Homo-oligomer: A and B are copies of this chain.
Amino acid sequence: MEDSSYNLFNRIPKDKRERLLHASIEEFAEHGFHQASINRLVNRLGIAKGSIFRYFGSKERLFAFVFDYAIELVKARLRGIRDITKEMPFFQRLKSILWVGINFVEQHPSIYRLYLKMIFQENFPLRDELLRKVHLMSAEYLTSLVRDSISKGEIRNDLDVDFVVFFLNSMLDRFLQAYTVAFWDAGTGIYKAPQEELLRKVDHFVSVIEKGLAIHE
């Protein structure tokens, strides 16, 4: 399936491979695809430019490789939390997922930044294909949660599943954005907040998702 350049990259020493992988994510996360510079990358790494092209063939294929790697990380994490929270009530489960998300972007900030860049920079190469991967993953994930909860009678059934998934997806994503991107915080104090504070915000947040903004009677 994969060609020889892929194999070549997989055969180089492990620490070099990881340094290269990490630095590439950084470069793409910081500058997007087109503004990312192979020259800058190899200078930072102390590796010859030719090597990059021997390993990956082109800037585009390097990017695809890096992105696939990132997706795998996310998938693994999501699978984990899904299994662990299987028995929780829905809104409790939501909180856990949000926490996992926060931990992930904390641990891999540049991967999340890469994802954000990807979405809004329309002329990425392979954009549609890669986005489809991401979207399928998160939609499938949330869809199964939501179906479960509707059948258990935990949430409204006058909305179609897709709509609820869209809503949740939006909210979770936006919360993470507020946590990572100072601009989106908008005075809420979510941005890089300390644990306990963040916990309270998550509670507030999910409570609004659960009960809405209107006053209960």
A-to-B contact residues, CB < 8 Å:
30-32, 34-35, 91, 113, 116-117, 119-123, 131, 135, 139, 153-156, 159, 162-167, 169-171, 174, 178, 183, 185-190, 201, 204-205, 208-215
Contacts and interface: CB of A to CB of B under 8 A. Distances in A.
A190 B162 CA distance: 11
Contacts of A183: 119, 131, 135
8 contacts: A32-B32, A116-B120, A117-B122, A119-B120, A163-B204, A167-B213, A170-B170, A170-B174
Nearest to A168: B213
Q: How many copies does the complex hold?
A: 2
Contacts of A162: 186-189
A208 B167 contact: yes
B159 A32 contact: no
Given A209-B213, A215-B153, A120 B120 contact: yes
Contacts of A211: 211-212, 214
Given A154-B214, A163-B201, A170-B171, 12 more contacts: A121-B121, A155-B214, A159-B204, A159-B208, A165-B187, A166-B178, A166-B186, A166-B187, A166-B188, A209-B213, A211-B211, A211-B214
Contacts of A121: 32, 117, 120-121
B120 A156 contact: no
Given A167-B208, A174-B174, A178-B166, A186 B30 contact: no
Contacts of A131: 183
Contacts of A135: 183, 186
A169 B186 contact: yes
A77 B113 CA distance: 32
A40 B154 CA distance: 55
